[in-house]
Structure 1
Amino acid sequence: MSNHVVSVTEKLVQPILDEMNLELVDVEYKKEGSNWYLRVFIDKPGGVDIEECGQVSEQLSEKLDDEDPIEIPYFLEVSSPGAERPLKTQKDFEKYVGEYVYMKLYEPVDGEKEFEGTLVSFKNETAVVEIKIKTRKKQLEVPYNKIAKANLAVTFN
């Protein structure tokens, strides 16, 4: 059910975002406590503002009312992904080379399954991440298909 809601929402929101020159980062539909939330994360270079989120929310809400893919009450939230933006697609990885990232893998690479480091490159479906272990630096080559979760991370130097 939730996959259907996500795909219908992606289909409905994309034309709105195209018209406003915004990018769809992610859609999630999940239950928290007794409430269901449909969250749409949008972005653009320089970030989105509250007005843009409001416009997308208003237009998407109308389209969702017309299509009515969700039978139960839910809350619609449209926001920017914030500082810890998820990296979902290969395009995201290419775009954020040089940034500090957090990654969790399906299986370990060089004994590492969860780590933070600098995304050095992304080529041929492989991310190269430089991590620090105590005082030494180590580069991990991580195949894209082994990445369970990745997002930009906030670093405190």
Structure 2
Amino acid sequence: MAASSTQIEQLIAPVVVDMGFEFWGLEYQTQSGSTLLRIFIESEDGISVDHCAEVSRQLSLMLDVEDPIQGVYRLEVSSPGMARPFFTLDQYRRHIGFMVKVKLRFGFDGRKQFKGLLTGIENDELLIQEGEDEYCLPFEAIEKGSMIPQFD
């Protein structure tokens, strides 16, 4: 049986942290028989290609031993980048004052997608301002979210 993304995260996160990086999150996708495991790492000093290669080598060794993914898969390691995806409430909290976009699991106010300024977080709800309107979106309702890069 294939492991869940939570089980894979429990294997991967300690390795990344032990190497001196922050484990930002992972995407685990299977499409048309092809499996992709994308790992995001972060550091206060930034992430280089060499960092990604080093983490990829260590994770490959561990994944070969633990074998949580059935069949062939592709492993990618990268920084979250400028349009960084968000995986935790704390990651949103660290980006208050930035433009974000979120996709909800279910409709809210007749919509599933919101783009705007993240003005705060209260009671595990994101406060997103779109023009004159402000929306309170429960974190648990968010399917996917990311930062919108601003080039001023």
Whether the 8 Å CA contact 2:28–2:36 is kept in 1: the answer is: yes
Name the CA shift for 1:33/1:107 in 2 (closer, same or farther; >3 Å): closer
Could you report, residue by residue, the CA deviation over 1:54-108 in whole angstroms, capped at 9, with x for unpaired residues? 1111011111111122231221111112111112211112111111000122344
Q: Does 1:141 align with 2:136?
A: yes
Question: AA paired with 1:123?
Answer: E
Report which stretch shifted further, 88-97 or 18-27.
Answer: 18-27
**TM-score, with normalisation over the residues of structure 1?**
0.83
Report which stretch shifted further, 102-111 or 20-29.
Answer: 102-111
Whether the 8 Å CA contact 2:17–2:23 is kept in 1: the answer is: no
Give the Cα separation in 1 of the matches to 2:75 and 2:148: 26
What percent of counterpart residues are identical?
34
Counterpart residue number, 1:102: 101
Give the Cα separation in 1 of the matches to 2:70 and 2:142: 33
Whether the 8 Å CA contact 1:109–1:141 is kept in 2: the answer is: no
Structure 2's unaligned 5+ residue stretches are none
Give runs of aligned pairs for residues 30-49 of structure 1, distance below 5 A.
30-49=29-48
Whether the 8 Å CA contact 1:110–1:140 is kept in 2: the answer is: no
Name the CA shift for 1:49/1:138 in 2 (closer, same or farther; >3 Å): same
Name the CA shift for 1:146/1:67 in 2 (closer, same or farther; >3 Å): closer
Could you report, residue by residue, the CA deviation over 1:12-68 in whole angstroms, capped at 9, with x for unpaired residues? 322222223312222222234553222111112353111111111101111111112
Whether the 8 Å CA contact 2:26–2:40 is kept in 1: the answer is: yes
Whether the 8 Å CA contact 2:99–2:115 is kept in 1: the answer is: yes
What SS class does the counterpart of residue 13 from structure 1 fall into?
helix
Counterpart residue number, 2:116: 117
Q: Does 1:154 align with 2:149?
A: yes
Give the Cα separation in 2 of the matches to 1:90 and 1:24: 14
Structure of larger gyration radius:
1
| 1:110 Cα deviation after fit | 4.2
Name the CA shift for 1:108/1:69 in 2 (closer, same or farther; >3 Å): closer
Name the CA shift for 1:6/1:111 in 2 (closer, same or farther; >3 Å): closer
**TM-score, with normalisation over the residues of structure 2?**
0.85
Whether the 8 Å CA contact 1:126–1:144 is kept in 2: the answer is: yes
Q: CA RMSD in A?
A: 2.2
Structure 1's unaligned 5+ residue stretches are none
